[in-house]
Chain A
Amino acid sequence: MSTRLQSKGRLVDTTQPMEFRFNGKRLKGYAGDTLASALLANDQMLMGRSFKYHRPRGAVASGAEEPNALVNLGQGGKFEPNQRATTTELFEGLYATSQNHWPTLEFDVGAVNAALARFLPAGFYYKMFIHPRPFWKYVYEPFIRQSAGLGKAPKERDADTYEHFYFYADVMVIGGGIAGLTAALEAGRAGARVLLVEQTAHWGGRAVVDGAEIGGKPAEDWVAETVAELAAMDNVTIRARTMGAGVYDHGFILAYERLTDHNPETSGPRHRLWRVRAKQTISATGAIERPLSFAGNDIPGVMLAGAVRDYLVNWGVSIGDRTVVVTNNDDAYRTAIALHRAGLRVPAILDARASGGGALADEARAAGIRVEAGRAIAKVKGGKRVEAVEVCLQAGEGAVLETIPCDAVAMSGGWSPVVHLWSHCGGKLLWDTELAMFRPDPARAPTGSDGLGFVAAAGTANGHLGTSAVLADAQSAGRAAAKATGAKPKTGKAPQSNDADEAPIEPVWLMPQGAGDALRMKAWLDYQNDVKVSDVQLAAREGYESVEHAKRYTTLGMATDQGKLSNINGLAVLSGALDQAIPVTGTTTFRPPYTPISMGAIGGSARDGLFQPIRKTPIYGYHVDQNADFEPVGHWRRPYTYPRSAETVHDAVNREVVNTRANIGLLDASTLGKLIVKGPDAGRFLDMMYTNMMSNLAIGKCRYGLMCSENGFLSDDGVVARIDEDTWLCHTTTGGADRIHAWMEDWLQCEWWDWKVYVANVTEQYAQVAVVGPKARKLLEKLGGMDVSKETLPFMQWADGTLGGFPVRVYRISFSGELSYEIAVPASLGRAFWDRLVADGEEFGLMPYGTECLHILRAEKGFIMIGDETDGTVIPQDLGLNWAISKKKDDYLGKRAQEREHMVDPKRWKLVGLETLDGSVIPDGAYAVAAGKNANGQRNTEGRVTSTYYSATLKRGIAMGLILNGPDRMGDVVEFPKVDGTSVKAKIVDQVFYDKAGEKQDV
C-alpha cells in the first residue's frame, strides 16, 4: 500500500491538516501536499482510467509530465476538467472526482475495450466502418463520438477572471532549479533586468530532493540563500507558480502564472498571462525521466524512479512497502538507497546493463540491497495494483527466471532534457549517443532579426546531468546572456558539487530486448492514449514511417502531456522497427504551450462587454431611456426602432416611416464616418479616391461621391463637403469609416507619399443629427439662430452657425427624399442638442426614428445602400450611378477596370425596382431563376433581390434587385422561388418608388 511515513517530508506542513474529497470520500492531507501526494498518502493509487481501453491508472510521475492522474476539479462555475493531480496543490475543501469511467472508477464497463484490444490496434478505425455508409452516420460515428474525451466539459459560465500582464526583461530565465537560479544570479549580478520563473511553488528543482551539495553546503541551504539574494535585487523579478509557456518570434515569451489555483477562495484573477519581451531567454527547464517499455508498465504502482523519490522526500509518502527498482542508468539507484534509508524494502534492483552500475550501485550493495545486472522485467503482474514482477534477462526474449512479489516498481529509462522552449521558435536538436538523449544544438539556436540566437539552454536542459557541470553551464549561460544585452558579467568560478562517479547509461527501448508479440502488446508507450510498442511497430509495418505519420496514426504523444513521457521512447521504437538511427527518425514538432493553459487566461479580461467594446454615440443614453430596440452596426449599437408601449417592432417602424414623411423624424446619424482631408493636394487626391470630381466642388457645397476598389467595384459612398480652400470633409458609411480611412492612408503612404495631404478621422468628434420631414425647417426656425431658408441654405449646401444657441454645422443633404438637415455639433453637446430638438419638436409631431425606418425611406427613393446593393462584384454602372462618375477626369481608382470589356458588357446584372404582382414583400436574399441548369445540375439564375421592404408610405412591398439586363426589361415579370417551395412573381420597374421628380427634398 502507499502511505504517509513518520518522516513526513520537506514540503509538508503537519501543523496545517486539510480535508478534501475524492469521489465523495473525505480524506486528509496537509498544506504543502499536491493532490497526488495526498491521495497516495491515503492509499489511493487508482486515480483514473485511460482513454481507449479504460485501463486503471495511477500517478506515474510527480510533475507536469503526468499523463494518468487527471481529475475533474471543483464544481459549478469553478469546475475544471483534466487537472493534473501532481501539479494541483492541496487546499482545504478541495473537491475532485476521477474521469472517464462508468459507473465507477473501480468498476468501469468501458474496460471491456481492453479485452477487445486485439481488434482495436492503432488506426483500426481507418480500416473499419466503411460499409455500409448509413451505419457510419447513424451507429458507428455517434458511438465513437460518445466515447470521446477524458474530463467532462465545463457546463457553467466560467466564474473566474483572468488578466494579462506586460513585462520587459533583458534576460528571462525559465526554470527555478539550480541551473535557473545560477543563471539568474549571474545575469542579476551583472546588472541586467532579469525575470526568473518557476512552474511549481518551490525553488531548487531536483537537486534539493537528491540532497546534492553545492559549494560545500546542502543544496537546500544554497537554494534558500540564492533565492534570498535574487529577491533582494531591484533589477530581478522572481515568480513561482509561473510556467514559461511559449517562445515566439522576436523574443516574445509567454508565461502563465497560477495565482489562486492553490487557494481558490482568494479574490482576484485566477490566472495571469505574462507577455514578456526578453532580449535573451535561458531555458533552464531540467529534464524528464523516461519510462521503460516492459509488459504491464502501466499498472498502478509502476512509477518513475525519480517520482518515487519525490514523493518520499518532498511529501513523506511511500508508494509501496516493497519496491522493485528497474533501470538502465545509475540515477535510479538513488531511489533504491533513499527507500532503503527510509526503512522501506527494496527486494531487488534490476539493472538492464550487463556491466551494472557505478559508485551508487556499490553503495546500494553495501546497504544490503540485492542488485542484479543484465536483468529486466518480463512482466508486471497485477490488475489495479502491482502484485509482483517476473524477472528475465534483458538480452533474452522474456523467459521468466524468478517472480518477485512487490507492490511498487520504480523505473528509469534515462533522462530527456526539456527542450520544448528551445524548440518552439526553431531551435534544433542533436542526438547525444553517449547520453542517449536529444539535447539543444548550440550551433542552431532560434535566431532573432539580427541572425543571432535569442534562446540558450542551461544545465540539465542543455544535456548536463552532473551537478557541478550543471552549475558551470548555467553560470556561463547567465553571463553570456547578460553580456549579449550589454551588461557586464562578473568573473569567478561556479561552485562545485559532490558528484558520484556514474557508469554510463545503456539505452533500453524494449524490455527484454527480444520481447515477443504478447509482451509488446502489453508494453505501454503513451499511457493516456493507450499506445503500445506493438502499435508503433504496426504503424511502421504499414508504411507510416515518418515520425509524424506514426504519431498521427497511433496518436502517440497526442495526449494531454503532449508526449512528455512517450515521445522519445516511441520514436526509438519506430527507429528500431525501421532499422534506422534515432536522429534519422527525428522528433515531432514541439508546439506551445509547454503544458496546457486555460482558454480563459489567454483571453484575459477582454470578454463579454470588453470583447470589442461597444462604441456609443453621445446620444446613446437617450436611446436607452426610450427602450429603443437596438441593432449592432459595426462596433456601434444603433436604435433599430423606438417601439412605444404595446407596439410591435414592425408597427413602430411603420409609424416612424409615416411620421417622418408627414411631420418630422429625428435620426442619430453620429456613427457616419467623418474624415477631414486637408492639404494643398487634397483636391487632386480626392479626385483619385472618388469617381466624381471633388476638386472643383465650390466652398460651401456638398456632393455625393462614390469610391471604388482598383478592380472597379463600389466599396463606399457618402457626401463630401468643401470646407475651405484646402479642406474637405468626407462622410463615409458607418461601417466604412475605419476602412476608408485606412484605404486613404494606404494610398497616401504607399503610392502618393509626396502629395501634401493629411487625413484625420473625426467621426467621434461630432454628434450628428438628421432632422427630416416637411416640418423640419419650422423646427429649426423655432430654435432660432442662423438662416435655414431655401434661399440662404439651399439643397446640397452647408453652413456654420448657431441654432438655439448651439454652435452647429448644417448640411442640406437628404437620404430620405424629404426636406432634411443633417446637423453636426461638438460631441460634448450632442445629447443636449438632441434633447432640445425633441422638446421643441413636440408641437410639430417630432418622433425619433431608427435604422430600419432609415432603410425603408431610402429604398422608397431608390437610393442604394453599401452592403445591400453592393457585394464586391458590383460596379457603380450596374447601379445606374453613371451620373456620379466624372467623364472629365483622366483617372480615378477603378476607372481602368470599369472600362474593361466584361464591365461594359450589356449582359450584366443591373439595378432595377421590383414590384410584386400580389403586393407582398419578396423575401430577403431571394434569387430570380432562369431557364436551364449549369454544370452541377443547378438551376440557372438571372438576378437577385438586394433590398426588400414593406413600404408604409405605399402600403405594399417594394424591392430593388440586380437583374440580368434589368433596365432594358421594364415591365418583364421575374420569378423568385421561396424557401418553402412556392415562388413570388415581380414586375421590373423603375427603382424610384416615391417622389420620382425629387421635389420634396429640394424645398
Chain B
Amino acid sequence: MRYNAWQIFKEAFTGQTGWKPVWRDPEPKKEYDIVLIGGGGHGLSTAYYLAKNHGLTNIAVLEKGYIGSGNIGRNTTIVRANYFLPGNSEFYSHSLKLWEGLESDLNYNVMHSQRGLINLFHSDGQRDAFVRRGNAMINQGDDAVLLDRDGVRQHLPYIDFDNVRFPVYGGLLHPRGGTARHDAVAWGYARGADQRGVDLIQNCEVTGIDISNGKVTGVQTSRGPIRAKKVAMVAAGRSGQVAAMAGMRLPIESHVLQAFVTEGLKPVIDHVVSFGMGHFYISQSDKGGLVFGGDLDFYSSYAQRGNLPMKEHVMEAAMTLMPMIGKAKVLRSWGGIMDMSPDGSPIIDRTHVDGLFVNCGWNYGGFKAVPASGWAYAHLIATGKPHDTAARYRLDRFTTGRGIMDEEGTGSQHNLH
C-alpha cells in the first residue's frame, strides 16, 4: 500500500480501518537463496537493495528480537559525510546521496533533516585538522564551511565562547549533515523489503552456521534449521558471537555506548553540535527532547545499559559548553553494543567460507552508513565482487596491515577503544 495524502484523507473518514500491516509475519521457509543474520538497519537495507537493485527476493532476514531492536533503534541519529580518508570518504559521500533520496525511494518519511552539523574547535592545531577535513569533504563533492568564532556565534548563540577551559576558536559546518528518525529508517527499509517479497522473520535467533566442505549450507535457528545458498552476517554488536559460529575470530570488540534524552523542550538547539574536546555531542529531536551522547563506557559488554561515570562526564561537558542546560532534565538513558574495529572503519567482505559474508565494525557511526552499507553489501552478495565505494573495507587488512583506515588518527591498534 502506498502512502500519500489521499490515503490519509480517506482513512480519516473510515476509522483508520483500511491500513494494512507494514510487513507480513511469515513462517520461515525450509530454504532460501540468501539468509541475512540480523534485522538491524544494515540487514534491512541489504535485503532491500538485494531485491531492488539485483532482483533477488528469495531472501530471509532473521532477527533474534523484533525488527530494529538493536543499535538502529538506539542511536543518536546523526547523518553526515565528513570523513576524509580514501575508502571512507567515497563511501560516506555515497551514503549521504542515498539518504537524500530515501523518502521517495522508500515511500516512507524517515524525517531526514539536514539541519547542519557543527564541529567545534578550540586550538590552532584542531583548526588545522578541521580545515584539512573540510578540504577533503569539498574535494569529495560534499559541503563544508569553516566558521570563525563569530560565525559560530551566529549559529549557536547559547554556547559559552569564553569558557575558561575550552574557548571556542571556530567550527566546521557541514550544512548537509543532520539527523533522521532512526526507527523510521528500520521500518521504511523493512516495509520496502517485505513489499518486494523478502521474508522478515522476527524472534528467530541464529544459533549455528552450517558449513560443509568449506561451503555454507544454512543456519540453525531458534525456529529450526533453514537451508541457504548464501549466508550474510550483519549482526553489529553481536558480530563476534555470530562469526564464532562459523569458526571465525573477528577483530571486533563489543563495547557499550550510551545515549541520553531530556524531557521535551521548545526549540533551542537547531543544529547537531559536536564538542570533541569534551567528548560530547547534541541535537534536538523533532519532539523537543535534547538527544546527546559521549564516549564509550570503556569496558567490553553485551548488556545494553551503561554505567554512571560516563553519564557524569557527558553532563559535565554539557554544562561546560552550554551553561543554560543545567535545568533540562534527563528523561532516559540507554546503551547499545558497538562493534568496535581496531581502526574505527568497517568491514564488508567475503569470508574464508564459500558463500558466507561479513558486514560489521560500524563502531559508533553506522547509522549514517545504513543506505550505502546495504547497497554495497547487496552488491557483494549478489555479484561476489566488492562495490567500488566499499572496496577498501577488507577483513584481511587487520592481518596484512594494508589499508588500515583510522579517521581518529591515533594509529590502528587493539584495545584502542
Name A144's closest neighbour in chain B (CB-CB).
B286
Given contacts A51-B287, A126-B3, 4 further A-B contacts (CB under 8 A): A81-B328, A152-B265, A602-B315, A873-B404
CB <8 Å contact, A150 and B324: no
- Residue numbers in B under 8 Å from A144 (CB-CB): 286
Q: A548-B66, A872-B408 are in contact. Are A924 and B131 (CB under 8 A)?
A: yes
Expressed in whole angstroms, the minimum distance between the Cβ of B394 and any Cβ of chain A is 12
Of the 9-residue stretches B50-58, B104-112, B350-358, which lies at the interface with chain A?
B104-112
Q: A868-B128, A927-B135 are in contact. Are A154 and B108 (CB under 8 A)?
A: no
| 16 A-B interface contacts by CB (under 8 A) | A81-B327, A130-B4, A130-B108, A133-B103, A149-B289, A153-B267, A154-B326, A158-B326, A534-B16, A600-B319, A608-B319, A608-B323, A631-B124, A873-B406, A924-B128, A936-B89
> Taking the complex as formed, is B285 at the interface, i.e. its CB lies under 8 A from any CB of chain A?
yes
CB <8 Å contact, B330 and A597: yes
Expressed in whole angstroms, the minimum distance between the Cβ of B277 and any Cβ of chain A is 8
- Residue numbers in A under 8 Å from B12 (CB-CB): 118-119, 121
Name A926's closest neighbour in chain B (CB-CB).
B135
CB <8 Å contact, A712 and B327: no
Closest 4 CB pairs of A and B: A149-B288, A925-B132, A600-B326, A543-B21
Interface residues of B in 133-189 (CB under 8 A from A): 133-136, 138-141, 146, 158, 160, 163-167, 181, 183-184, 187-188
A424 to B390, CA, bound (A): 40
CB <8 Å contact, A126 and B25: no
CB <8 Å contact, B165 and A149: no
A640 to B104, CA, bound (A): 52
- Residue numbers in B under 8 Å from A597 (CB-CB): 329-330
CB <8 Å contact, B124 and A852: yes
CB <8 Å contact, B163 and A608: yes
Q: A151-B266, A599-B262, A608-B164 are in contact. Are A79 and B134 (CB under 8 A)?
A: no
Name A560's closest neighbour in chain B (CB-CB).
B263
A937 to B8, CA, bound (A): 40
A119 to B409, CA, bound (A): 51
Name B407's closest neighbour in chain A (CB-CB).
A872
How many A residues have CB within 8 A of the partner chain?
Answer: 125
A82 to B263, CA, bound (A): 8
Q: A152-B266, A710-B413, A979-B134 are in contact. Are A598 and B109 (CB under 8 A)?
A: no
A589 to B332, CA, bound (A): 11
- Residue numbers in A under 8 Å from B415 (CB-CB): 746
Interface string of B74-101 (1 = CB under 8 A from A): 0000000000011001110110000000
A938 to B389, CA, bound (A): 11
Interface residues of B in 261-304 (CB under 8 A from A): 262-268, 277-278, 284-289, 303
> Taking the complex as formed, is A934 at the interface, i.e. its CB lies under 8 A from any CB of chain B?
yes
- Residue numbers in B under 8 Å from A82 (CB-CB): 263-265, 329
Expressed in whole angstroms, the minimum distance between the Cβ of A560 and any Cβ of chain B is 5
CB <8 Å contact, B411 and A149: no
A142 to B400, CA, bound (A): 49
CB <8 Å contact, B326 and A121: no
Name A596's closest neighbour in chain B (CB-CB).
B329
Expressed in whole angstroms, the minimum distance between the Cβ of A787 and any Cβ of chain B is 39
Expressed in whole angstroms, the minimum distance between the Cβ of B294 and any Cβ of chain A is 12
Interface string of A882-901 (1 = CB under 8 A from B): 00000000000000010011
- Residue numbers in A under 8 Å from B67 (CB-CB): 546, 549
> Taking the complex as formed, is A763 at the interface, i.e. its CB lies under 8 A from any CB of chain B?
no
- Residue numbers in A under 8 Å from B187 (CB-CB): 126, 544, 553
Interface residues of A in 477-499 (CB under 8 A from B): none
Interface residues of A in 130-151 (CB under 8 A from B): 130-131, 133, 136-137, 141, 144-146, 148-151
CB <8 Å contact, A150 and B326: no
Interface string of B1-14 (1 = CB under 8 A from A): 00111011101110
> Taking the complex as formed, is B229 at the interface, i.e. its CB lies under 8 A from any CB of chain A?
no
A789 to B89, CA, bound (A): 54
> Taking the complex as formed, is A538 at the interface, i.e. its CB lies under 8 A from any CB of chain B?
yes
Interface residues of B in 212-246 (CB under 8 A from A): none
CB <8 Å contact, A611 and B165: yes
Q: A592-B333, A609-B164, A611-B316 are in contact. Are A936 and B128 (CB under 8 A)?
A: no
CB <8 Å contact, A546 and B66: yes
> Taking the complex as formed, is A632 at the interface, i.e. its CB lies under 8 A from any CB of chain B?
yes
- Residue numbers in A under 8 Å from B196 (CB-CB): none
> Taking the complex as formed, is A156 at the interface, i.e. its CB lies under 8 A from any CB of chain B?
yes
> Taking the complex as formed, is B195 at the interface, i.e. its CB lies under 8 A from any CB of chain A?
no
A424 to B3, CA, bound (A): 38
Q: A713-B412, A936-B141 are in contact. Are A604 and B316 (CB under 8 A)?
A: yes
Interface residues of B in 1-41 (CB under 8 A from A): 3-5, 7-9, 11-13, 15-17, 19-25
CB <8 Å contact, B103 and A130: yes
Name B126's closest neighbour in chain A (CB-CB).
A632
Of the 9-residue stretches A224-232, A247-255, A403-411, which lies at the interface with chain B?
A247-255
CB <8 Å contact, A609 and B165: yes
Q: A82-B329, A249-B303 are in contact. Are A632 and B286 (CB under 8 A)?
A: no
Chain B residues with a Cβ under 8 A of chain A: 3-5, 7-9, 11-13, 15-17, 19-25, 65-69, 73, 85-86, 89-91, 93-94, 103-104, 107-109, 111, 113-114, 122-125, 127-136, 138-141, 146, 158, 160, 163-167, 181, 183-184, 187-188, 202, 262-268, 277-278, 284-289, 303, 305, 307-308, 311-312, 315-320, 323-334, 388-389, 391, 400-406, 408-415
> Taking the complex as formed, is A951 at the interface, i.e. its CB lies under 8 A from any CB of chain B?
no
A448 to B123, CA, bound (A): 44
- Residue numbers in B under 8 Å from A254 (CB-CB): 308
Name A164's closest neighbour in chain B (CB-CB).
B312
CB <8 Å contact, A709 and B412: yes
CB <8 Å contact, B111 and A141: yes
Q: A126-B184, A602-B312 are in contact. Are A608 and B135 (CB under 8 A)?
A: no
Q: A599-B319, A938-B89, A938-B141 are in contact. Are A150 and B288 (CB under 8 A)?
A: yes
> Taking the complex as formed, is A128 at the interface, i.e. its CB lies under 8 A from any CB of chain B?
yes
CB <8 Å contact, B21 and A136: no
Q: A609-B164, A938-B89 are in contact. Are A517 and B15 (CB under 8 A)?
A: yes
> Taking the complex as formed, is A425 at the interface, i.e. its CB lies under 8 A from any CB of chain B?
yes
> Taking the complex as formed, is A334 at the interface, i.e. its CB lies under 8 A from any CB of chain B?
no
A137 to B323, CA, bound (A): 30
A89 to B397, CA, bound (A): 62
Interface centre among B267, B315, B324 (most CB of A within 10 A): B315
A609 to B160, CA, bound (A): 12
Expressed in whole angstroms, the minimum distance between the Cβ of A531 and any Cβ of chain B is 13
- Residue numbers in B under 8 Å from A902 (CB-CB): 400-403
Interface string of A69-85 (1 = CB under 8 A from B): 00000000001111000
- Residue numbers in B under 8 Å from A714 (CB-CB): 411
Interface centre among B130, B141, B403 (most CB of A within 10 A): B141
CB <8 Å contact, A709 and B324: no
A733 to B411, CA, bound (A): 16
- Residue numbers in B under 8 Å from A709 (CB-CB): 411-413
Expressed in whole angstroms, the minimum distance between the Cβ of A515 and any Cβ of chain B is 13
A709 to B90, CA, bound (A): 27
> Taking the complex as formed, is A127 at the interface, i.e. its CB lies under 8 A from any CB of chain B?
yes
Expressed in whole angstroms, the minimum distance between the Cβ of A932 and any Cβ of chain B is 13
CB <8 Å contact, A133 and B104: yes
Q: A593-B330, A614-B165 are in contact. Are A925 and B320 (CB under 8 A)?
A: no
Expressed in whole angstroms, the minimum distance between the Cβ of B68 and any Cβ of chain A is 8
A155 to B11, CA, bound (A): 42
Expressed in whole angstroms, the minimum distance between the Cβ of A685 and any Cβ of chain B is 18
- Residue numbers in A under 8 Å from B90 (CB-CB): 934-936, 938
CB <8 Å contact, A149 and B267: yes
A873 to B389, CA, bound (A): 20
A746 to B413, CA, bound (A): 12
Q: A148-B286, A151-B266, A938-B140 are in contact. Are A591 and B333 (CB under 8 A)?
A: yes
> Taking the complex as formed, is A715 at the interface, i.e. its CB lies under 8 A from any CB of chain B?
yes
Expressed in whole angstroms, the minimum distance between the Cβ of A428 and any Cβ of chain B is 14
Q: A897-B401, A924-B127 are in contact. Are A602 and B330 (CB under 8 A)?
A: yes
Expressed in whole angstroms, the minimum distance between the Cβ of A211 and any Cβ of chain B is 35
A12 to B88, CA, bound (A): 65
